[in-house]
Amino acid sequence: DAGVIQSPRHEVTEMGQEVTLRCKPISGHDYLFWYRQTMMRGLELLIYFNNNVPIDDSGMPEDRFSAKMPNASFSTLKIQPSEPRDSAVYFCASSSPTGGITGELFFGEGSRLTVL
């Protein structure tokens, strides 16, 4: 079975440009999470969805960040305009509670973003 698929794996862009990161969760999973990993702040939960609906976006750093999940098999995280401090590895993860919370998140390999 395919795991969580993220694209692009690497992105280098200039300050002010729009960045779009993409995620395809594991088929059948109804929870999707976006995390950001930096040396300074570790792994931060940005936002998560359940059945395509955003449940908690309190971790989204500011209005420059937005996330969507138009259907069960696709999500995007957009940064507009990007800034150098947005440089990080962005992870997408999906999960499927069965009869309750199982808690196992399956992670993609991440998208490494560098903003110059």
Position 105 contacts another protein (CB under 8 A) = yes
Position 99 contacts another protein (CB under 8 A) = no
Alpha carbons 86 and 95: distance in angstroms, whole number: 26
Alpha carbons 14 and 101: distance in angstroms, whole number: 41
Residues 20 and 86 sit within 8 Å (Cβ to Cβ): no
Position 91 contacts another protein (CB under 8 A) = yes
Alpha carbons 32 and 70: distance in angstroms, whole number: 12
Q: Measured from the CB atom, is 41 or 85 closer to another protein?
A: 41
Position 90 contacts another protein (CB under 8 A) = no
Q: Least CB distance from residue 45 to another protein, whole Å?
A: 6
Stretch that binds another protein, among 21-29, 37-45, 61-69, 74-82 (CB under 8 A): 37-45
State which of residues 34, 48, 49, 65 lies at the interface with another protein (CB under 8 A). Answer: 48
Q: Would you state the structure tokens that stand for residue 80, as one six-digit string?
A: 């507009």
Position 87 contacts another protein (CB under 8 A) = no
For residue 103, give the 3-state DSSP assignment. Answer: coil
Long-range Cβ pairs for the range 40-49 (8 Å, 24+): 43/91, 46/77, 47/77, 49/75
Q: Which residues bind another protein (CB under 8 A)?
A: 4, 31, 33, 35, 42-43, 45, 48, 50, 55-56, 91, 93, 97, 101-105, 107-110
